Amino acid sequence: MRWRDRFLFVAEATMKAQAETGEIKGHYLNATAGNVEEMIKRAAFARELGVPIIMHDYLTGGWTANTTLAEYCRDNGLLLHIHRAMHAVIDRQKNHGMHFRVLAKSLRMSGGDHLHSGTVVGKLEGERDITLGFVDLMRDAFIEKDRSRGIFFTQDWASLPGVMPVASGGIHVWHM
């Protein structure tokens, strides 16, 4: 049960730092586990500790687990940060695999509040126009076709909630 000890330690340290500085502090406790029941246990424990945000590695955890966890978070007042561990194996190869835009769109349908999406500079760098295109696909309710930005058809997301794109450390993409 190392995760439980880690959750307690991090929650205590976060609250202590917040009390000492008067500034809001945070840490995304990783609820990813070998099965969805364990993920829900971790999310529930984080909630009991008063932690407002948990994290899930949606590619390693799986779509059904992600949707279940997103619904639990929505119903229980938690934010769900989505990490994309393993994405490069799928989307960085030009000759095979799929583009991250597909992974971002499927995540939007699965659920989550913000996604570790990469930026146009730094460690998670991608092509500027393409990155901005899939950022719009994550956030906006309606997106016009724009092949230069990797948007191959007009898409109306209707009332499906968007996902906030974030860079490393929770920095908003537009701050880069």
Query: What is the per-residue pLDDT across 120-172, written as a single tens digit (0 to 9) for each?
Result: 665 555 678 888 888 898 999 999 999 998 889 999 999 999 999 887 655 65
Q: For 28-60, what is the HEC assignment?
A: CEECCCCCHHHHHHHHHHHHHCCCCEEEEEHHH
The residue range of the domain holding 43 is: 2-126
CATH of the domain at 74: 3.20.20.110
Residue 26 within a domain: yes
Residue 39 within a domain: yes
pLDDT digits (tens, 9 = 90+) for 163-175: 998 876 556 555 5
The C-alpha atoms of residue 135 and residue 173 are separated, in whole angstroms, by 8
Its pTM stands at 0.86
The C-alpha atoms of residue 132 and residue 118 are separated, in whole angstroms, by 10
pLDDT for the residue numbered 37: 97
Cα dihedral 47, 51, 58, 39 in deg (nearest 10): -30
pLDDT for the residue numbered 100: 80
Residue 150 within a domain: no
Residue 171 region by backbone torsions, left for phi larger than 0, else alpha for psi between -120 and 50, else beta? beta
Residue 51 within a domain: yes
Q: Which of 39, 24, 144, 49 is nearest to 82 (CA)?
A: 39
Q: Which residues lie below 8 Å from residue 12, measured CB to CB, with a gap of 6+?
A: none
Band (pLDDT 50/70/90 cuts) for residue 99 is confident
Q: How many domains does the chain divide into?
A: 1
The C-alpha atoms of residue 97 and residue 165 are separated, in whole angstroms, by 22
Residue 171 within a domain: no
Q: And the tokens for 166? A: 């974030």
HSE on the CB side for 52, CA within 13 Å? 6
Asked if 140 contacts 162 with a C-beta cutoff of 8 angstroms, the reply is yes
pLDDT digits (tens, 9 = 90+) for 16-49: 999 999 999 888 999 999 999 999 999 999 999 9
Q: And the tokens for 15? A: 């609250």
Start-to-end CA span in the chain (Å): 38
